[in-house]
Structure 1
């Protein structure tokens, strides 16, 4: 059957190639060059003469935003990739991809700009919530499952950001200096695995340079390795605004420069061909890749799509899957027996993030879900005897106007004539390219007014402000709070300039439940050098600030009166977001102090950590339980209730090491003179922790459940490990069986051990089950820089199966695989 499927796929591929070549032969040079650049923010131009419709791309990876970056076009929001990585389940990642393909088709999207498979090189990486793991093998398998799922729904993917885009500081210009060995064994490895396992239809090349060459121009890494060695046949799109050289990019293997309409391709590429700098065959190769993508997604007449309508997967319940991924991802790192909770327990829920949940990270991964179930929402349903108090707020910054606001946007020209208007679900205007209200053009647009009403949910002094560049007039309840111009600071990253720290402009004392009128008039500064037309600004707001000591005292009193205290602590979008790296791993605000005070008042304190990446937990030994919820997506509060009450088991395992910054082996993310040397070479993550000898807070692979497991045996035959485990607890459970290998003869140039395989198993109480795990040949290979090739490290290896990197249960020895 497999041979028949391969033969059938081969015939379909050949038929599509015939259609592609026929279409390519009908195009003149100008049309070909135009097809390689965006016509706007998210799409490529249509070419009706050959039956090519416009190809539409959209950001992911936790949802499908579509072409409108606005909360009035909602999208299912799944848990963050670190959460998905914590499930250690490529099949669950595949199911997530199936849902996202369904969302993409609903929104008219052909290509999802995901998954992100860069590695957690340093815990300071500000965008790590958007990637899976510090381990390349785990990241590669999770990314493969994701790509398989999305593409099974007839939607393309772009594995990104190729390659070594592992931090945000100076990301547009940084030159990362990485050894060939580290590239091969770590940073290229997830991409290679996805090409092998999932045949992705696209790749996105990164902003950064590697060893002196910009990734959009890196012929060696793109043409020689990605396409040549691995056989990748998809299209290569630049990260947005990363393409800078017409000749360098086309020769470096870049097919599509985004966004448009002004790109390094189009007329500039035509001129380069006619001047002899570029051969037209190089343009043809890029166009061929674009047409192949179009054929696969059903956008090219005369070509059968890779997935016919009859082959599409069945409808997926997005809310149900989001909830399942969340509870599967939660990692219980500590439990003295307080969890799971009784449904009739008197519980004090504490923390600002329990009420105003943070369900996703900041930046281009942002989507706007149709609903958000906060921890307070979820636990209020599951626990009738629940009280709530704020305790401590992780942020005193103003945020986008949301709860209590009813807003719309009115667009006017320079004479004050209304051009058009539209509703706004919140105070953020984010119109990119052609994404404007009906009847409005960038050429005519002069000013935008956010106006409407605000009904406070509490009395006191409410703070209002602005975020963005240009002229603003802010009026609340008839009082002008601000009239002035915000200019560009020292920011070099647009995400910092437009989505960074808001500016408070004034405070107004308001009464709970009494509506007031609000208005923010923004006049565009058209002198700003923007790469494409955009309108980006926000009305921001902050509820009255109560005395912090009083809030802490209320929380302590509530904890003292309860049987169990559940404290939700969190990072903010000023801590974890695209556009900047972290400077420390501490929880913001007085949250650490809050946990200590609550734990002193109630020994049955459970702490839920709502962050996308590691944070320091200085109080962990003082509390009864610690549960990591990551950024749990829109159903996070419902999933949290499931796990805390025992309706579901927390079955996640750490996909990255957690430890204090002072002991972290790799902390350098800031370039010096434009360069960032990866001096640690192949030693990142747990490999580096083991080399340094420092003990992390929680090791790679760690995670507890609500049952117990006994590892009974490990047998290795050839390169297949069979691990027999027994559920010795009192309830059904899920175990992630992890297999690590280490060479018998230690070599300081190699890690002590590394992940070679894993499997999810389930069993009822008393039941025995087996995990059969194939150990890939690559687990025994090293990159020989002198030979420029992989070589099998001969000798014997210790094979260990266990519950984490440091929790070995059974072991065996084997010889390294030889031959092909």
Structure 2
């Protein structure tokens, strides 16, 4: 242990106190030993340190900070150096606000397009995700503070996220859902990691010995701090045994006392607590100097300019029929759409940033060189139909050479805590598009959303520019692409299916009441579409440019791939070259191709550059469930260089010696996985893949409700008061949406409807404790007066103990 001398000088109460928060955002301090608090703040794409006493839900505005493009946006840049620069600037701002631990980046895999938090995650591909995340982490931690990669692991939906059990086979877990975390730990050297809320194969992730001990600590050698998501603690002692040091936020000492009592009962050795304390102290002392420097302001303008550069490089040109873009100087442009007036530039939930500057499209036209003849709102942002707005927009469009139509998803559709209902943009926007097409077919659509959408209307637009959620400078960045000042170079980090029903997890998302089954296994995103030959709207890795690139002269060695790219157009530009590998044989089922490397290259017009993409330890490996380790299958691998997953420009082969591991499967027992037909996997076949029976997906309505049941389950509670409360919550949600208070309605679903009963204690900062929750459960389970008395009695006890504790301190 690094800090053995300090730990030997600590009381058991002091040690336990370091295992949980002092308040909502700070860890406990011990002044007599020089141990200061850590300050933790949300910050995957901008610092959210709230200026007043605040909660996790974002009800209070944060101190102004640069709102960089979200992770889903930056992933489209495919530029690790740019990602590291974003991390660098985030770290600079964190230090300026005396933040010790920045809670990000989020690296959960985009299993399904409807996940409400997809805007906060990088990609459907674990390799791209991991590489971008490691770059962010290096940038943040270059300032002496800590990043905190999240959410570990298999948190791929928001619905019932605090209680859902993700049922996933071991190979898929390793290859798809843990690989990005492995890269973040090994290459990013993250000092902190946040566990997810959900269960994984029956166990809460922060108590899951398999991923926490055997994989994270032993295999990957991680020696940093593990932090619960806010209110995500379940059994505190089990969490500590699994290596979960820090529970956030505060439980006002209740969880600390559980640790102390467990040690006294010899359920846990004090040495386990000492090791956890040592890791927390290392995080405190290693970040202390940076986070406690005198506050110095960061360069607001400089950071804003970087935000713009990142947005520019992340914008994806999806369609450019008849070379409608870039716009010509003489063209008259009509600007239509609510998102042109009020930019949609970030997601909703715990990552909301209060921007230092905010560019709006309508204020940036003069410097862009684009001639705007006027603006019309065209549609109501939140879906209300208004024929007059459409008429006004069409009247303006008739006078223009080109229509710039700003459409997309609103802030309350893509939000933490809720999944999207479908992949469509609102109907009133589509009606507007059809009406505009009738009067002026020269339409360039500019999309503002953080995840994939259906586009049945795409034949009605000549140009399609996807800005994703481009941060505070995103509006100006888009105009620079439209005008041709910037040559677009973004490429999609996720596949766009033609319709939602085409997605591989369509039948399995978001699961039933108690669990969600990952029956599609390895086949997510392009791994499925390319293997099953399912047509898509836009493939993974796709993006157009104002120039053209030609690939040639591939050479493959055991070290990597070398080839040439020539800019055959008339404009300098950047190209993202992607390395895909196809497995050696049919003995082990695999997707038809997998991303194993990438690079982004700037090339002047007419220039040829030689490019090398090295193979790394992940290029040929697969996880063998028989040997329980990574293996390499011997054989000849197809090496493919592409401009997207479906646009392979060069191909060669390489023989690779294997590790002679036994074949882990019997193909005849897993036909769906060997032929890629995973849209409707039979239960018995999924259980064969799992190696066990799947759990019951439904809530057990015969048992009394307990700590880990959610408030939504009050619909069938024995207590009439609980059922009435349930209906009141549902009515409140409906009524608030009806009157236009959609953000508040979403807050009810996120913070109440899906909350486990234990969360009442875990999320209230000591206002309610677990014995009081026992009383609440008595009420819920039909013992109203007994429960009410219990709550009252336990509250009096709690207040008395607090009073005694304060008296001791004074």
What TM-score bracket applies, with the shorter chain setting the length? 0.7 to 0.9
Q: Secondary structure at the match of 2:41?
A: strand
Residue correspondence of structure 1 range 339-354 to structure 2 within 5 A: 339-354=325-340
User: Structure 1 residue 619 and structure 2 residue 604: aligned?
Assistant: no
Q: Deviations over 1:202-249 (max 9, x none)?
A: 000110010011011112211111011101111000000000212211
> 1:88 maps to which residue?
78
More helix by share: 2
Say which structure, 1 or 2, has more relative contact order (CA 8 Å, 6+ apart). 1
Q: Deviations over 1:292-325 (max 9, x none)?
A: 11121126xxxxx79999xx99999210110011
* Residue of structure 2 aligned with 1:804, choices 618, 626, 644: 644
* Residue of structure 2 aligned with 1:321, choices 293, 306, 309: 306
How far apart in 1 are the matches of 2:513 and 2:45? 35
1:798 Cα offset (Å): 1.2
> 1:388 maps to which residue?
375
1:22 Cα offset (Å): 2.7
Sort the Cα spacing of 1:316 and 1:378 in 2 relative to 1 into closer, same or farther, 3 A: closer
Q: Deviations over 1:706-758 (max 9, x none)?
A: 11111122111113111200001111100001111113534672101011111
* Residue of structure 2 aligned with 1:38, choices 17, 21, 25: 21
1:61 Cα offset (Å): 0.4
User: Structure 1 residue 335 and structure 2 residue 320: aligned?
Assistant: yes
> 1:557 maps to which residue?
395
How far apart in 1 are the matches of 2:588 and 2:439? 48
How far apart in 1 are the matches of 2:269 and 2:593? 48
> 2:89 maps to which residue?
99
Q: Secondary structure at the match of 1:762?
A: strand
Alpha carbons 2:69, 2:307 under 8 Å: kept: yes
Q: Deviations over 1:425-458 (max 9, x none)?
A: xxxxxxxxxxxxxxxxxxxxxxxxxxxxxxxxxx
Sort the Cα spacing of 1:585 and 1:158 in 2 relative to 1 into closer, same or farther, 3 A: same
* Residue of structure 2 aligned with 1:734, choices 569, 574, 584: 574
1:47 Cα offset (Å): 1.2
User: Structure 1 residue 671 and structure 2 residue 511: aligned?
Assistant: yes
Q: Secondary structure at the match of 1:298?
A: helix
> 2:710 maps to which residue?
none
> 2:411 maps to which residue?
573
> 1:359 maps to which residue?
345
Alpha carbons 1:599, 1:622 under 8 Å: kept: yes
Q: Deviations over 1:483-508 (max 9, x none)?
A: xxxxxxxxxxxxxxxxxxxxxxxxxx
Alpha carbons 1:737, 1:801 under 8 Å: kept: yes
How far apart in 2 are the matches of 1:61 and 1:44? 20
How far apart in 2 are the matches of 1:59 and 1:655? 24
How far apart in 2 are the matches of 1:625 and 1:307? 50
How far apart in 2 are the matches of 1:125 and 1:205? 18
> 2:562 maps to which residue?
722
Sort the Cα spacing of 1:594 and 1:313 in 2 relative to 1 into closer, same or farther, 3 A: closer
More strand by share: 1
Provide the aligned length of Structure 1 versus Structure 2: 647
1:669 Cα offset (Å): 2.6
Sort the Cα spacing of 1:307 and 1:246 in 2 relative to 1 into closer, same or farther, 3 A: closer
How far apart in 1 are the matches of 2:42 and 2:586? 44
Q: Deviations over 1:330-368 (max 9, x none)?
A: 000111201111234210011011101111001111111
Residue correspondence of structure 1 range 156-195 to structure 2 within 5 A: 156-195=146-185
Sort the Cα spacing of 1:285 and 1:264 in 2 relative to 1 into closer, same or farther, 3 A: farther
Alpha carbons 1:739, 1:757 under 8 Å: kept: yes
Q: Deviations over 1:528-555 (max 9, x none)?
A: xxxxxxxxxxxxxxxxxxx711211221
Alpha carbons 1:707, 1:733 under 8 Å: kept: yes
How far apart in 2 are the matches of 1:811 and 1:161? 37
Alpha carbons 1:244, 1:264 under 8 Å: kept: no
> 2:286 maps to which residue?
296
* Residue of structure 2 aligned with 1:28, choices 8, 11, 22: 11
Residue correspondence of structure 1 range 775-794 to structure 2 within 5 A: 775-794=615-634
**What root-mean-square deviation, in Å, do the aligned CA atoms of Structure 1 and Structure 2 show?**
2.1
How far apart in 1 are the matches of 2:50 and 2:392? 45
User: Structure 1 residue 698 and structure 2 residue 538: aligned?
Assistant: yes
Residue correspondence of structure 1 range 602-641 to structure 2 within 5 A: 602-641=440-479
1:799 Cα offset (Å): 1.1
Q: Secondary structure at the match of 1:579?
A: coil
How far apart in 2 are the matches of 1:555 and 1:673? 45
Q: Deviations over 1:389-427 (max 9, x none)?
A: 111123058xxxxxxxxxxxxxxxxxxxxxxxxxxxxxx
1:26 Cα offset (Å): 1.8
Q: Deviations over 1:164-216 (max 9, x none)?
A: 00111100000101111001101000000111112110000110010011011
> 1:769 maps to which residue?
609
Sort the Cα spacing of 1:632 and 1:181 in 2 relative to 1 into closer, same or farther, 3 A: same
How far apart in 2 are the matches of 1:774 and 1:316? 37
> 2:785 maps to which residue?
none
Sort the Cα spacing of 1:186 and 1:313 in 2 relative to 1 into closer, same or farther, 3 A: farther
Moved more, 42-51 or 667-676: 667-676
How far apart in 2 are the matches of 1:592 and 1:250? 52
How far apart in 2 are the matches of 1:758 and 1:646? 26
TM-score, normalised by the number of residues in structure 1:
0.76
Alpha carbons 1:344, 1:385 under 8 Å: kept: no
Q: Secondary structure at the match of 1:186?
A: helix
Alpha carbons 2:49, 2:62 under 8 Å: kept: no
Q: Secondary structure at the match of 1:272?
A: helix
Sort the Cα spacing of 1:597 and 1:380 in 2 relative to 1 into closer, same or farther, 3 A: farther
